[in-house]
Amino acid sequence: MDLLSLIGTTLLLVIMVTLIVCLLEYKIYGSTNKKLRVVVKGLLTSVAAVGIVAFISYTRNTGEMSAEATQFLPESFYNVSFAFLLLMLAIIPAYFVGRYIYNHDFDKEPKSLLIQLFLAGLGSIVVTLALTVLLMRIFPFFNVNAESIGGLLPLIPYVFIGVAFVEEFSKWIFTYAIGYKNKEFNHVYDIIVYAVFVSLGFAAFENILYVFAGLNDGTAIQIALMRSVTAVPGHAAFGVVMGYYLAMARISEKNNNYRLANINKVKSILFPTIVHGIYNYLLYATAYVGSISFMMFIVFVILLFQTATRKVKQLAALGYDLNMPILSTIVNRQNQYNYCPNCGESVIGAYCRKCGKKHN
C-alpha cells in the first residue's frame, strides 16, 4: 500500500467513525440540528455508494478491482467502503426492527437502558459460546455441523438443544437479570421491549459474523439480504415470545400466585426454544428433503412474524401500571380489560385467549 492509499484509507476510517458517533449521538440525545442530520446521512450514503461500486467492480472482475475504478480512488478506499457497506447491511435490519418495537411503547423506556440491553445481547454471544463448548465436551454428538448430522431424527436434539436452547437461555439470562427486576418495568409491554432488544443485540453480532464469512465465497450481499428478512426479525419474534411469558410471570407475582409465576418463567425459556428450534429445524432439513422443507420454512416464518406482530400490538395497548398491588382489572386507552381468574391471562372481550374460559 503506497502513502496516498494509506492516507486515503485512514481518512475514510476517521470519517466513518465520526459519522457513526454523530448518528448515535443524535439517536441518543435527540439533536434538533436538521442540517447536521442531512449532512451526516448524505455522507453515510456516499460512503455506502462507494461500497456498492466496489461490490460491482469486484463482481465483474472476479475478485479484483477494475482498472477504471482504481483511476478515481485507491483500491484500499473501495475495500474499506465495501466492508462498511456490509457492516451497515448486517446492522440496519436490527435497527429497524428495534425501532418498530420501540415505537409501539407508549411509555418510552430510557434509551440508556435500551443500549445496555442491546449490548447485553452481544454479551449473550459469549455465554452461548461457553455453553456450546461445555455441551460439546460433555456430549461429543454436538461437535458436528448441522449438514453432516446424519439425518432428520438426529437433527432434532442438535437443533433444539445444541442451538435453540443454548441461544435462548443465554438471552434469557440477560433479559431476566437486567429487565425483569428493573424499576422501569412497570407495564406489560416493557419486558417485550427488553427481551427484543437483547435478542437484537445477539442477532446483530451473529449477522455480522455470517455476512463477513460470506466474503470467502462471494455471497456476503446475498446473506445480508436474506438474513435481514428472516434471521434478524426471527430473533426479535423469539424475544416477543420470551417477553410475553415474563410479563405473565410478573402479573402472577403481583396477584400473589407464585406457582403460576414460576411456571410462566419456565415457559419464557421453553416456548422461545421450541419456536426457535422449529425455525432452525425446517431450515437445516432442506439439506435432506430439499424444497419441501424450505416451503414449510417460508410458511412458518410468515406465520411467526404475523403472530409476533399481532402480539406486539395487543400487549402495547395494555396501559396499566404493574406497580399496583393487585391486578384484577386493567385499562388501556380505549377499552376495559380483565384478568382470567383461571390462568391469569389478560382477557380481551368475553373469553380468555389462553384457556378459552368465558370471563364473567
The pLDDT value recorded for residue 341 is: 58
The answer for residues whose C-beta is within 8 angstroms of residue 264's C-beta and 6 or more apart is: 245, 246, 248, 249, 252, 344
Partner residues linked to 346 by β-bridges? 339
The pLDDT value recorded for residue 202 is: 95
The pLDDT value recorded for residue 36 is: 60
Partner residues linked to 347 by β-bridges? 338, 352
Tell me how far apart the alpha carbons of residues 221 and 213 are, in angstroms, rounded to a whole number.
11
Write the single-letter amino acid at 326: I
Can you give the length of the chain in residues?
360
The pLDDT value recorded for residue 331 is: 38
3-class DSSP state of 97: helix
Query: Cell for 167?
Result: 441461544
The pLDDT value recorded for residue 352 is: 60
The pLDDT value recorded for residue 33 is: 56
The sign of the torsion formed by the CA atoms of 196, 198, 201, 205 equals negative
Partner residues linked to 351 by β-bridges? 348, 358
CA angle 53, 94, 168 (to 5 degrees): 135
From 147, 127, 123, 146, select the one nearest 135 (Cα to Cα): 127
Element (H, E) at 219: none
The pLDDT value recorded for residue 351 is: 54
Residue pLDDT tens, the chain, 360 long: 444 454 455 455 555 555 555 555 555 445 445 666 556 555 555 555 555 555 554 544 444 444 444 444 445 555 666 677 777 888 888 988 998 999 888 888 888 899 999 999 999 999 999 999 898 888 877 777 766 677 788 888 889 999 999 999 999 999 999 999 888 888 889 999 999 999 999 999 999 888 888 877 778 878 888 888 899 999 999 999 999 999 999 988 888 888 999 999 999 999 999 999 999 999 988 878 878 888 999 899 989 998 898 888 888 876 656 766 544 444 343 344 455 655 555 565 555 655 555 555
Tell me how far apart the alpha carbons of residues 149 and 335 are, in angstroms, rounded to a whole number.
52
From 54, 52, 26, select the one nearest 39 (Cα to Cα): 26
pTM exceeding the 0.85 threshold for the entire prediction:
no
Distance of alpha carbon 60 from its chain centroid, rounded? 34
The answer for residues whose C-beta is within 8 angstroms of residue 336's C-beta and 6 or more apart is: 329
Tell me how far apart the alpha carbons of residues 342 and 340 are, in angstroms, rounded to a whole number.
5
Query: Cell for 356?
Result: 378459552
* Strand ordering across the sheet containing 346-348: 329-331, 336-339, 346-348, 351-352
Region for 78 from its dihedrals, namely left if φ exceeds 0, alpha if ψ lies in -120 to 50, beta otherwise: alpha
Q: Quick check: 102 and 218 in contact, CB under 8 A? A: no
